Structure 1
Amino acid sequence: MKKILIVAAVLYSSLLHAQDDSTLLNNVTVTATRFPKKISETGKVVTIISKEDLEKQGSKDLAQILNEQAAIVVNGAGSNMGKDKSIYIRGAANGYTVILLNGIPVNDPTGVSGAFDLRMLPVENIERIEILKGAQSTLYGSDAIAGVINIITKKGNGKPANLYGGLSYGSRHTLKTNAGLYGSFGASSYNVSFVHNETRGIAEAKDTLGTKNFPNNGMLLNAISMDVDGAVTDQLHIKPFFRYSYFSGSFAGGAFVPATNNFTSGLLSAGTQGVYNLTHGSITGLFSYDEVNRNYAGSFASGYKGTKKTAELFAHLDLQQYVQTLFGVRYDEFEMKNPNPNTADTSIRVISPYVMVFLRNLGGFNFEAGGRLNHHSKYGNTVTYTLNPSYLINNQFKIFANWGTAFRAPYLSELYGAYGANPGLKPEQSQTLEGGLQYTSADKKADARIVGFLRNTKNIITYDQNYVYTNYNRQKDHGIEVEATLKPVDPLTLKLFYAFVEGKVTTDNGQGKDTTFNNLFKRAKNSFGANIGYQVTPRFSVNTNLNFYGKRKDLYYNSATFASENVDLKSYVLWDLYAEYKLAKDHIKVFAQTTNLLNARYYETYGYAVWGRAFNAGFRFQL
Structure 2
Amino acid sequence: MKKERKVWAMTMIAFWLLASNQTKAQQDSLRTLNLNEVVVTATKFPKSIAETGKVVNVIDELQLQRSAGKDLSQLLNEQVGLVVNGAVSNPGKDKSVFLRGAKGDYTLILIDGVPLSDPSGIGGAFDLRLIPIDQVERIEILKGSQSTLYGSDAIAGVINIITKKSGDKPFNGFGTVSYGSYNTFKGNAGVSGSTRLWDYDLTYMRFQSDGISEAYDETGSGNFDKDGFNQDAFQLNLGFKPTEDISIRPFVRYSDFGGDYDAGSFADDPDAVYEASLLNYGLNGQYTFAKGAVNVLYAHDKTERDYITPFSSFPNKGHYDHGEVFSNYSFGKHIQLLAGLSYQRMEMNLPEASIKYRSLNITNPYVSFFINDISRFSIELGAREVIHSVYGHTFTYSINPTYKIGSVAKLFVNYSTGFKAPTLSQLYGQFGANEELNPEESRSIEGGVHLFTKDKKANVRATLFSRKVDNVIIYTAGEMRDRYLNLDQQDDYGFEVEPVVQINENLNIGAFYSYVTGELTTPLATGGDTTYNNLIRRPKHSFGINATYAITKQLTVSMNFKTFGKRDDLFFNMNTFTQERVGLNSYQLLNLYAEYRLLAQRLKLFVDAKNILDQDYTEVYGYSTQGFNVQTGLSFNF
Question: TM-score, structure 1 length as denominator?
Answer: 0.95
Cα distance in 2 between the residues matched to 1:69 and 1:207: 30
Contact between 1:508 and 1:514, CA under 8 Å: does it hold in 2? yes
Q: Return closer, same or farther for 1:279/1:342 CA change in 2, 3 Å cut-off.
A: closer
Task: Give the structure 1 partner of residue 110 of structure 2.
Answer: 100
| Further displaced range: 323-332 or 591-600 | 591-600
Judging changes above 3 Å, is the alpha-carbon distance between structure 1 residues 468 and 606 closer, same or farther for their aligned structure 2 residues?
farther
**One-letter code aligned to 1:161:** F
State the SS of the aligned residue for 1:331: strand
SS at match of 2:525: coil
- In structure 2, C-alpha distance between the alignment counterparts of 1:24 and 1:571, rounded to whole Å: 34
The aligned counterpart of 1:279 is: 290
> Alpha-carbon deviations, 1:404-439, whole Å to 9, x = none?
000001101122222333333321000000000112
**What is the count of residue pairs matched by the alignment?**
604
Given the alignment, which residue of 428, 437, 446 partners 2:458? 446
Structure 2 counterpart of 1:242: 252
Deviation at 1:483, TM superposition (A): 0.6
1:509 Cα shift?
2.5
Report matched runs for 1:38-57 at 5 Å: 38-57=48-67
What is the distance in 1 between the residues matched to 2:434 and 2:384? 27
| Residue aligning to 1:297 | 308
Determine if contact 1:24/1:440 at 8 Å carries over to the other structure.
no
Structure 1 regions of 5+ residues with no counterpart? 1-19
- Out of 212, 216, 224, the position equivalent to 1:206 is 216
Structure 1 residues 198-240: Cα deviation after superposition (integer angstroms, max 9, x where no partner): 0000000001132232011111110000111100222111100
- 1:319 shift after superposition: 1.2
Q: Which residue of structure 2 aligns with residue 541 of structure 1?
A: 556
Give the aligned partner of residue 366 of structure 1: 378
**Residue 148 of structure 2, aligned match among 123, 138, 141:** 138
Q: Which amino acid aligns with 2:185?
A: L
TM-score, with normalisation over the residues of structure 2?
0.93
Partner secondary structure for residue 499 of structure 1: strand
Q: Which residue of 2 aligns with 1:463?
A: 475
Who is 1:328 aligned against? 340
Question: Cα deviations across residues 294-343 of structure 1 (Å, max 9, x unaligned)?
Answer: 11213756111110011111101111111000001000000001242666
The answer to whether the Cα contact below 8 Å between 2:473 and 2:488 also exists between their aligned partners in 1 is no
CA distance in structure 1 between the aligned counterparts of 2:137 and 2:232, rounded to whole angstroms: 19
Between the aligned partners of 1:27 and 1:393, the Cα distance in structure 2 is: 20
Q: How many Å apart are 1:344 and its aligned residue?
A: 5.0
Please name the residue that 1:583 is paired with: 598
Deviations 1:332-386 (A, max 9, x none): 0000012426665511100010010011121221110010000000111110000
Q: Distance in 2 between matches of 1:46 and 1:286?
A: 23
1:230 paired residue number: 240
For the aligned residue pairs, the C-alpha RMSD in angstroms reads: 1.5
**DSSP 3-state at the match of 1:178:** strand
**Alpha-carbon distance in structure 2 between the residues aligned to 1:422 and 1:605:** 30
Call closer, same or farther: CA 1:342–1:365 in 2, change over 3 Å: closer
Q: What's 2:130 paired with?
A: 120
| Mean Cα deviation higher: 187-196 or 400-409 | 187-196
Is contact 1:367-1:389 (8 Å) kept? yes
Task: Report Cα offsets for 1:433-476 as digits up to 9, x if no partner.
Answer: 00001122111111110000011110112335666433333111
Residue aligned with 2:228, SS = strand
- 1:487 match: secondary structure: strand
Unmatched segments (≥5 aa) in structure 2: 1-29
Q: Structure 1 residues 560, 252: CA separation in 2 closer, same or farther (over 3 Å shift)?
A: same
**C-alpha separation in 1, matches of 2:353 and 2:601:** 57
Moved more, 601-610 or 482-491: 482-491
Question: Relative to 1, partners in 2 of residues 1:412 and 1:96: Cα closer, same or farther, differing over 3 Å?
Answer: same
| Residue of 490, 494, 506 corresponding to 1:491 | 506
Instruction: Report whether the alignment pairs 1:177 with 2:192.
Output: no
Give secondary structure in 2 for the equivalent of 1:78. Answer: coil
| Letter in structure 1 aligned against 2:551 | V
Residue 280 (structure 2) pairs with residue 269 (structure 1): yes
- Corresponding residue for residue 558 of structure 1: 573
Partner amino acid, structure 2, of 1:540:
L
Change (3 A) 1:71 1:432: same
Q: Report the more deviating stretch, 239-248 or 105-114.
A: 105-114
Verify the 8 A CA contact 1:301 1:418 in the aligned structure 2. no
CA contact (8 A) 1:461 1:470 kept: yes
For residues 335 and 595 of structure 1, the distance between their equivalents in structure 2, rounded to whole angstroms, comes to 40
Please report how far the alpha carbon of residue 510 of structure 1 lies from its aligned counterpart in structure 2 after TM superposition. 2.4
Amino acid at match of 2:327: A
Paired residues of 1:440 and 1:446 also in contact (CA < 8 A): yes
Q: Which has the larger displacement, 418-427 or 272-281?
A: 418-427
In the alignment, does 2:79 pair up with 1:69?
A: yes
Residue of 598, 607, 614 corresponding to 2:622: 607
Q: In the TM superposition, what is the alpha-carbon distance from 1:103 to its structure 2 partner?
A: 0.5
Secondary structure, aligned partner of 2:123: helix
Measure the CA separation in 1 of the matches of 2:265 and 2:37.
Answer: 44
> Could you say which residue in structure 1 is the equivalent of 2:4?
none
Q: Which amino acid aligns with 1:367?
A: I
TM alignment of 1:159-178, pairs within 5 A: 159-178=169-188
CA distance in 1, matches of 2:357, 2:435: 14
Partners of 1:341 and 1:333 in 2: CA distance: 17
Distance 1:545 1:445 in 2: 20
Give, as a single letter, the amino acid of the residue that structure 1 aligns with 2:314.
Answer: S
Per-residue displacement from partner, 1:67-118 (whole Å, max 9, x unpaired)?
1111111110110110000101111111111111000111111112111110
Which residue of structure 1 aligns with residue 23 of structure 2?
none
Given that 2:353 and 2:429 are in contact with CA atoms closer than 8 Å, whether structure 1 keeps it comes out as: no
Residues 21 and 440, structure 1, Cα contact 8 Å, conserved in 2: no
**1:372 corresponds to which letter in structure 2?**
R
> 1:412-431 to 2 correspondence within 5 Å?
412-431=424-443
Greater mean alpha carbon deviation, residues 422-431 or residues 378-387: 422-431
Matches for 1:20-59 after TM superposition, within 5 Å: 22-59=32-69
Determine which of 515, 518, 534 is the counterpart of 2:530: 515
Contact kept, 8 Å, 1:21 with 1:445, in 2: the verdict is: no
The verdict on how the C-alpha distance between 1:21 and 1:50 changes in structure 2, with shifts beyond 3 A counting, is: closer
Give the distance between the partners of 1:76 and 1:472, measured in 2 at CA: 28
**Post-superposition shift, 1:488?**
1.8
Q: Deviations over 1:541-566 (max 9, x none)?
A: 11111110000000111111111000
Same amino acid, percent of matched pairs: 43
CA distance in 2, matches of 1:187, 1:40: 33
Q: Secondary structure at the match of 2:266?
A: coil
Q: Which runs of 4+ in 1 moved over 6 A?
A: none
Measured in 1, the distance between the counterparts of 2:177 and 2:484 equals: 44
User: Which residue pairs with 1:592 in the alignment?
Assistant: 607
Greater shift in the superposed pair: 218-227 or 107-116: 107-116
SS at match of 1:26: coil
Match of 1:306 in 2: 318
Distance in 2 (alpha carbons) for counterparts of 1:142 and 1:359: 26
Distance 1:322 1:589, change over 3 A: same
Question: Which of 561, 573, 576 in structure 1 is aligned with 2:588?
Answer: 573
